[in-house]
Amino acid sequence: MSNVPPISPRDKAEILAQALPYIRKFHGKTMVIKYGGNAMTDPELQADFAEDVVLLKLVGINPVVVHGGGPQIETALKRLGKTGHFIQGMRVTDAETMEVVEWVLAGEVQQDIVGLIHQAGGKAVGLTGRDGGLIRARKLKMVDQADPSKEHDVGQVGDIVAIDPAVVKALQDDQFIPVISPIGFGDQNESYNINADVVAAKLATVLQAEKLLMLTNIPGVLDKQGELLPELTMDRIDELIADGTISGGMLPKIAGALDAARSGVNSVHIVDGRVPHVLLLEILTEQAFGTMIRSA
């Protein structure tokens, strides 16, 4: 902190004034913010995140937070002597793992975020996909990426059947900030564990959000040499998946991002949640961050 040169009052005023055209442009617009489990490990950054969300709301933008919690689920499973196992970026979810997922996401992570937003002066409401019938799901049929004739059984991992955004809209209208855990429900009232990137992308599409921002623990999508790719289109994404450059947790993220971009979400970005106040910087300044996913 002490190495950062002080900003003069004039520079501070200029920075604030720069935000004006963005505030005007985005007033009344919805922004879906995916807050990844890997981006929420530092308490100071978590407080910055909550302040940014509150500030966005106060200037008339409608933030909707969808949170993850992969590392937090992993810690809880370890305490029970279980090891997490992923196939193509999805956690293989048996009945016991499902219980842990619900307890960690809805009980712990979501409530921490809700609390931080309250501390920052905002009004947040935590929801799972069950609340208001928000996320209807069924068991995901996972086709092998390399060999489409092969299928993987990933247990209670959900594929989204439908999103009913009524509860989100009602909360927004009453000036609340929705904080959503990626848990869906099925026809028999069973629970499904859904990747948070997939939920954020689908919700952004259904709400016709202006932006979808996915906060993670990496500067964006990187090429084979580890260099940041500032922009990506579908063809390039296909190549990067085929040659193994994009793998693991980046697979559902990029698939969701591309889906949202192609379904009318104006701008979709994968950004580094470790940059303090990255939300304000990305939304209210001219600076570009991370990787922007383009529809074509």
Ligand X SMILES: Nc1ncnc2c1ncn2[C@@H]1O[C@H](COP(=O)(O)OP(=O)(O)O)[C@@H](O)[C@H]1O
Ligand Y SMILES: CC(=O)N[C@@H](CCC(=O)OP(=O)(O)O)C(=O)O
Q: Which residues are annotated as a binding site for substrate?
A: 69-70, 91, 193
Check residue 209 and report its DSSP letter: -
From the list ligand Y, ligand X, none, which binds 101 (C-beta under 5 to 8 Å, kind-based)?
Answer: ligand Y
Angle in degrees, 0-180, between the axes of helices 250-262 and 234-242, rounded to the nearest 10: 160
Query: Tokens 């016991």 sit at which residue?
Result: 96
Q: Is there binding between residue 247 and ligand X (CB under 6 A)?
A: yes
From the list ligand Y, ligand X, none, which binds 30 (C-beta under 5 to 8 Å, kind-based)?
Answer: none
User: Closest approach of Cβ 222 to ligand Y, in Å?
Assistant: 17
Q: For residue 41, give both structure tokens.
A: 């490990």
Q: How far apart are CA 91 and CA 105, in angstroms?
A: 14
Candidate residues 250, 255, 260, 293; the one interacting with ligand X per rule CB under 6 A: 250
Q: Is there binding between residue 70 and ligand Y (CB under 6 A)?
A: yes
Q: How far apart are CA 75 and CA 33, in angstroms?
A: 24
From the list ligand X, ligand Y, none, which binds 90 (C-beta under 5 to 8 Å, kind-based)?
Answer: ligand Y
Q: Is there binding between residue 248 and ligand X (CB under 6 A)?
A: yes
Question: Based on CB atoms, which residue is closest to ligand X, 40 or 171?
Answer: 40
Candidate residues 63, 68, 122, 126; the one interacting with ligand Y per rule CB under 6 A: 68
Q: How far is CA 109 from CA 6, 58, 73, 135, 238, in A?
A: 35, 24, 10, 19, 33
Q: For residue 15, give both structure tokens.
A: 């920075």
Q: Is there binding between residue 245 and ligand X (CB under 6 A)?
A: yes
CB atoms within 10 A of CB 210: 19
Whether the Cβ atoms of residue 70 and residue 252 lie closer than 8 Å to each other: no
Candidate residues 46, 88, 145, 217; the one interacting with ligand X per rule CB under 6 A: 217
**Residue sitting closest to ligand Y (CB):** 68
Q: How far apart are CA 65 and CA 7, in angstroms?
A: 31
Binding site for ligand X (CB under 6 A): 36-39, 68, 70, 197, 216-218, 221-222, 245-250, 253
Binding site for ligand Y (CB under 6 A): 36-38, 68-70, 73, 90-91, 101, 157, 182, 193-196, 249
